[in-house]
A = this chain, B = another copy of it.
Amino acid sequence: MGVRRNFIVLWTVALTLVVCDVSNNKIEDDDKLITKKRTLSECNLPTKLKTEIASYASTVEKIINAAVNGSFKGVTYQELSLFVDTFGNRIAGSQNLENAIDYMINKSIANGLDNVHGEEVQVPHWVRGFESATLVEPRNASISILGLGNSVGTPPEGILAEVLVVKSFDDLQSKAEQAKGKIVVYNEDFVSYGSTVIYRGKGATEASKVGAVASLIRSITPFSLNTPHTGMQTYGQNVTKIPTACITLEDAHFLQRLQDEGRTIKILLKMEAHTLPDKTSRNVVAEIEGTEHPEKVVIVSGHIDSWDVGNGAMDDGGGFFISWAALALLKSLGLKAKRTVRAIFWTAEEFGYVGAYQYATRHANETDNFIFMMESDSGTFDPVGLQYSAGTTGGCIIQEVMKLLAPINATRTRQSPSVGSDIEIWTSEGVPGGSLDTENDKYFWYHHSNADTLEVENPQSLDKNTALWASVAYVLADLSIDFPRETTDG
């Protein structure tokens, strides 16, 4: 087995490989998840192994008690709160992000964690600038927008053009003749994030191909309070780069109605968006070194960068903070596993897993030692369990380990084709991994919007997530056997 991917790729190449969207595997619909509720008869783990896993009950209880009722109660929320209040949002290329990275490095050192350091990463530096959209026909109205990542800007005087509203790429093709010189508005239905986000990723490219001068997408969300949701988009090769932004669900419906009523629609779009030369950022790494096999590693992770709206408390503040908190908690309890538990706070995830790809390149020869990789990037709501990417035996082990989380009712296990965002670079190549499974049905209400604030987070949920994260990482890092690397059977 092992990792077959050749990691010698530059992030610029990697970015190009991310054809349409960098985050479309974050949360899939439940029906797309392969739920495998194995019964004991289906799992044939050796009794010895099951007994061994069960023997961690008191340790896990200790972790849970510390996080939920003890010395660590409220710490994750409190620290996350201080962090987002101090730094706000943290887009790749910004000084804010680098300050936040310095802060997390210093904090981890202060916690007494091992081998704390930043690893340099070259990241894109896209700047939004001022932006506005104004409906000028059939009547005057302000249209809320957020430019999409990587978008080019408009000329200073803006682009004033007629609007063509389409429901889908097929609809655009059937109206290709009408699109020339227009602003194409995608009023695509929200089906699921994974299936709908292609309109964000490729909308500008497809509109440009048929001669549009700009494109606007309906924000990728099932619910809106006039809330635009930004996100990454990439221009296809050999197409004219046209400015592109998101509008709200409400305005997409509004423009659709105007078109259906046969009215001529004109919008004035102004965007200062532009891309500056790459900047140097860092992945943050901190560890609790293993006592017996320090070279073997269980990784817990999340990304430290965010979009430049809201303050990234949810995406991915809570996510990466539980990885920090898991290590800080284990450290405070004096729990050192046989293998190393490593926390990584990825940089520039939002621009195409940039930090993760460069980490993969730099650490290509260590991949066989990546025993189990975890990422939380789908919200830190109340936990229900763990989604995982592993083979049959691995799944059975996960199932046994998650039984230990019964005190916080987070025992559910689900095999998923997609765990995490950054770590999929590895899990797609056979490295076992897992992601936090929470009550995240409202995740996309907040995602990539100004509503991504601390309000989404909850002290009790964060405590439970920290407990879960620390417990799973510790047990998998401490087991007598390496977590099995099998072909996934999902």
Contact = CB atoms under 8 A, between A and B. Distances in A.
A253 interface: yes
A82 interface: yes
Nearest to A258: B85
Copies in the complex: 2
Interface stretch (A37-45, A158-166, A220-228, A410-418): A220-228
A459 to B, nearest CB: 13
A11 to B, nearest CB: 29
B224 A254 contact: no
A199 interface: no
A338 B354 CA distance: 76
A139 B88 contact: yes
Contacts of A487: none
Nearest to A452: B226
Interface in A330-388: none
A132 interface: no
A242 B258 CA distance: 41
A261 interface: yes
A87, A141, A453 pick with most chain B CB within 10 angstroms:
A453
A209 B148 CA distance: 46
Interface in A428-457: 445-446, 449-451, 453-455
Nearest to A88: B141
B455 A250 contact: yes
A249 interface: yes
Interface residues of A, number: 30
B254 A85 contact: yes
Contact of A451 (B225, B449, B453): B225
A211 interface: no
B453 A85 contact: no
A310 interface: yes
A143 to B, nearest CB: 11
Contacts of A138: 86
B85 A225 contact: no
Nearest to A223: B225
A270 to B, nearest CB: 16
A317 to B, nearest CB: 14
A109 to B, nearest CB: 22
A50 interface: no
A224 B226 CA distance: 11
Contacts of A261: 82, 85
Given A81-B257, A455-B250, A139 B86 contact: yes
A82, A85, A87, A225 pick with most chain B CB within 10 angstroms:
A225
A454 B141 CA distance: 15
A225 B88 contact: no
A144 interface: yes
Interface of A: 81-82, 85-88, 138-139, 141, 144, 224-227, 249-250, 253-254, 257-258, 261, 310, 445-446, 449-451, 453-455
Q: Can you list the 9 inter-chain pairs with the closest CB atoms, starting with the nearest?
A: A225-B451, A226-B450, A225-B225, A250-B453, A226-B451, A225-B227, A250-B455, A88-B141, A85-B257
22 contacts: A82-B261, A85-B257, A86-B139, A87-B139, A88-B139, A88-B141, A224-B225, A224-B451, A225-B225, A225-B445, A225-B446, A225-B449, A225-B450, A226-B227, A226-B310, A226-B450, A249-B455, A250-B453, A250-B455, A253-B454, A253-B455, A254-B454
